[in-house]
Amino acid sequence: MRRRRLVSALAPAAAAALLALAPPASAAAAVPADKPLVLERWTQTDAASYEAWSEARAHRSAWAAYGFDWSTDLCTSSPDNPLGFPFGDACARHDFGYRNHRAAGLFPAAKARLDQAFHADLTRVCARYSGTRKGSCDGTAWTYYQAVRLFGIS
């Protein structure tokens, strides 16, 4: 009986001690402070930036704490593979940049860079081709770039 009273008396104190050790729920669910830097790193014009984003996209669960919006409608109302050129992934990264920069309140300052990164991604797709096929791809890439540069808002 005496032991039961002692355990009953200690239980609330032990629970309080354990709760004091646990981080607050808001801190545990907090977005990492480097989210804007990661977002910027994944939306540059160079191939390394594209590869880092692509790798992260393939392993999204590892980045769940960041709360990135990975949704995409690919090339919106334009073909994802115009004339057989695979532009879908470039469009997906462009969507990623627009959506996440908007959510972070960083969009207006980043828009030109995001559009330039889109064009660089399309140009890398076109580098796989030669001759007139490359010329067709480059022309299509330029058209897609001009469309987002002039009309891209989402």
Map out the domains of the chain as residue ranges.
Answer: 32-151
pLDDT at 30: 79
How far from chain centre, in Å, is Cα 92?
9
pLDDT at 125: 98
Rounded Cα distance, 20 and 29, in Å: 17
* Per-residue pLDDT at 152 exceeds 50: yes
CB 88 within 8 A of CB 80: yes
Catalytic one among 59, 94, 101, 119? 94
Residues of the chain with pLDDT > 70, as a percent, come to 81
- Which of the pair, 151 or 28, is modelled with greater confidence? 151
- The residue with tokens 């104190």 is 13
Rounded Cα distance, 101 and 69, in Å: 10
Is 59 one of the catalytic residues? no
Rounded Cα distance, 65 and 57, in Å: 14
pLDDT in tens, 90-148: 999 999 999 999 999 999 999 999 999 999 999 999 999 999 999 999 999 999 999 99
Domain boundaries 32-151, corresponding CATH code: 1.20.90.10
